[in-house]
DNA sequence: TACCGCTTGTGAACGTGTGCACAAAGTCAG
DNA sequence: CTGACTTTGTGCACACGTTCACAAGCGGTA
């Protein structure tokens, strides 16, 4: 969940709070919004993540010259249940033809529209260590539409050095550079102790979406979206499964050959 | 999941299948297992991921000399609701003292036990490109207990070259090396087209847990656990939120100052 | 045109996870 | 020892996401 599954700042969960002043300007409470594109809000987060997967699979299919797909085909390729897939697609509208399937090109277009991939999203990477280096070199970042337009680090020896064809800037320049280059997504790849400070700078520079690789729980204002990629957590979840498997095997072995019962070690 | 989060192989969702022959040997169906440590199975995946986060926070607290924590303190530090935290902890047992809180040391020990961190888990990294390089240099991998004991690549120029103090092996040697070094977790950091083949080799080498960085849906047997870290998906989810935000702002602006209605750009 | 088979889209049941609120249980002061 | 205060552990209700199952709708065929 990911996984994942994204961090929400979670702290301000005080429900009796009226949560006034939502986006930027003091808006006098708009509860019943026109709902034309408000539909977007209704898409569950998990479904959004899957839509991104469908999009990738569809792109592959298009390159192989496929004109249409059935929900079943697409579901198998994406590794999900076909009913779930259809429900996910229904969140963005009805673009299929009953008895036939979906037109690949149409689906790609609609998913890209919903995911906001029609606009380019400038990405800034902060922290040019091992991981930041790798991210900067990732070839303009995975897939379409996420050009890396700024790199930052605190190390003066790194500042000015080109990495992946782009000079590293000092983190003190985050506000200026992010504003100039209209950065909309910040990637934090710093050591843990620096992460919160960097995050604060990005936020005050107007960045509203952050991808955090540092193993730290970031505190951000409500209007900022944070997603977390935590290698340690991923490994530990896998470790849990290893342990569970081993334990189950032991229990099962005990349950079958029940002669030895002094064997169960704590 | 993302969260996210973890990929389940999802394809074999045929519910009428009896799912016979579970783990390794032909076991005659054990439904009601002793349930002593079967409790482990009952822990929701999302809770496991959070336990890993709690563990990190607790370690930090212990270094700062904290002896006990209340659920509220720990919850704030971990960025979750305190009720959720208590429920998560209750999955692993009752180790708190009412009126006082939890002993940090005890909690750390119990979480480590549940997550299986008392054993060492050898990690193999396959694909020594940008990302694989970064992972190999990550300093024995994040935190405790996950030593990287093998590196693999298909490029003959890389084989034998030491990366992070460890020579790269050829992927043809995956079965032998993984068996020798008792690798329990495989990390796939290859280009997408190679991922499935590498995965198959790891699985046939006996690796049961895989962390996949390649943007591909891996097909694995039921007994293998896969977790996926997909940068493209993460970015696209963030992109979705950028778009949603922009749309909402536009709608709100329209709803408020309803004089200008030609301003809403698609 | 009428029928048939196929696939979508979705209402409804189900299961899981989250959040609330409170009893149970402990500490500490007097 | 008693009583007040604090914090855990959990039953319960709710919300969310997943899965099922089927009616609605479309293309092809006679």
Per-domain boundaries in chain B = 39-114, 122-229
Residue A103 in tokens = 């037109």
CATH for A122-229 is 3.40.50.720
Taking 50 as the threshold, does the pLDDT of residue A8 lie above it? no
- Å between CA of B77 and C1' of C5: 59
Choice among A109-123, B11-25, B189-203 with the minimum mean pLDDT: B11-25
Q: Give the tens place of pLDDT for each residue, A140-176.
A: 565 678 999 999 999 999 999 999 899 999 999 999 9
List the 123-152 stretch of B: residues with Cβ below 8 A of A. 123, 130-131, 133-135, 137-138, 141-143, 145-146
Report the alpha-carbon distance of residue B73 to residue B66 in Å, rounded: 11
The answer to whether A260 faces chain B, any CB pair under 8 Å, is no
- Å between CA of B181 and C1' of D30: 68
Q: Specify the pLDDT at position B244.
A: 86
**How many beta-carbon pairs below 8 A join chains A and B?**
318
CB contact under 8 A, A28 and B256: yes
The more confidently predicted of residues A33 and B183 is B183
Instruction: List, as own/partner pairs, every contact residues B194-199 make where C-beta atoms lie below 8 angstroms and the sequence separation is at least 24, other chains included.
Output: B194/B127, B194/B154, B198/B126, B198/B127, B198/B152, B198/B171, B198/B174
Q: Give the tens place of pLDDT for each residue, B130-150.
A: 999 999 987 656 567 899 999
CATH for B39-114 is 1.10.10.10
CB contact under 8 A, B235 and A78: no
Pick out the nucleotide with least CA–C1' distance to A83. Answer: D19
Q: Specify the pLDDT at position B81.
A: 95
Q: Least CA distance to A233: which residue of chain B?
A: B52
Q: Give the tens place of pLDDT for each residue, A172-203.
A: 999 999 999 999 999 999 999 999 999 999 99
Report the alpha-carbon distance of residue A103 to residue A123 in Å, rounded: 31
Taking 80 as the threshold, does the pLDDT of residue B22 lie above it? no
The answer to whether A23 faces chain B, any CB pair under 8 Å, is yes
- Which letter does DSSP use for residue B172 in this model? G
Contact A150, A198 (CB under 8 A): no
Pick out the nucleotide with least CA–C1' distance to A96. Answer: C8
Distances (CA, A) of B103 to A46, A216, B87: 35, 22, 17
Computed over every residue of chain A, the mean pLDDT equals: 83
- How much of chain B, in percent, has pLDDT values that exceed 70? 77
Report the alpha-carbon distance of residue A48 to residue A41 in Å, rounded: 11
Taking 90 as the threshold, does the pLDDT of residue B6 lie above it? no
Contact B152, B168 (CB under 8 A): yes
**Which residue in B4, B22, B208 is closest to A3 by CB distance?**
B4
The closest of A240, A187, A189, A197 to A219, measured between CA atoms, is: A197
A98 touches strand D (CB under 7 A): yes
The more confidently predicted of residues B152 and A4 is B152
Distances (CA, A) of B110 to A91, B113, B236: 42, 5, 37
Residue A149 in tokens = 């337009």
Report the alpha-carbon distance of residue B80 to residue B50 in Å, rounded: 9
CB contact under 8 A, A78 and B49: no
The C-alpha angle A225, A230, A232, rounded to 5 degrees, equals 160
Q: Give the tens place of pLDDT for each residue, A56-113.
A: 999 999 999 999 999 999 999 999 999 999 999 999 999 999 999 999 999 999 999 9
Report the alpha-carbon distance of residue B208 to residue B203 in Å, rounded: 6
């Amino acid at each position: 969940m990911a996984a994942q599954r994204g961090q929400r700042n979670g702290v301000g969960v005080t429900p009796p709070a009226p949560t006034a002043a939502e986006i930027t300007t003091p808006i006098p409470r708009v509860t019943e919004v026109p709902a034309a594109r408000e539909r977007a809000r209704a898409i569950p987060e998990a479904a959004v993540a899957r839509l991104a997967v469908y999009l990738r699979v569809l792109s592959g299919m298009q390159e192989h010259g496929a004109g249409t797909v059935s929900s079943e085909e697409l579901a198998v390729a994406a590794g999900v249940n076909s009913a779930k897939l259809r429900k996910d697609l229904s969140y963005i509208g009805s673009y299929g033809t009953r008895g036939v399937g979906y037109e690949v090109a149409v689906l790609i277009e609609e998913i890209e529209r919903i995911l906001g991939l029609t606009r380019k999203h400038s990405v800034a990477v902060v922290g040019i260590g091992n991981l930041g280096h790798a991210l900067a070199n990732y070839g303009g970042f995975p897939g379409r539409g996420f050009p890396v337009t700024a790199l930052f680090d605190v190390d003066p020896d790194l500042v000015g050095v080109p990495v992946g064809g782009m000079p590293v800037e000092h983190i003190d320049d985050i506000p200026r550079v992010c504003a100039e280059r209209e950065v909309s997504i910040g990637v934090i790849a710093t050591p843990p102790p620096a992460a919160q400070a960097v995050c604060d700078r990005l936020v005050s520079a107007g960045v509203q979406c952050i991808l955090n690789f540092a193993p730290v729980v970031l505190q951000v204002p409500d209007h900022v979206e944070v997603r977390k990629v935590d290698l340690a957590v991923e490994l530990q979840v896998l470790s849990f499964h290893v342990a569970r498997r081993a334990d189950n095997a032991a229990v099962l072995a005990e349950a079958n050959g029940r002669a030895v019962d002094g064997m169960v070690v704590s």
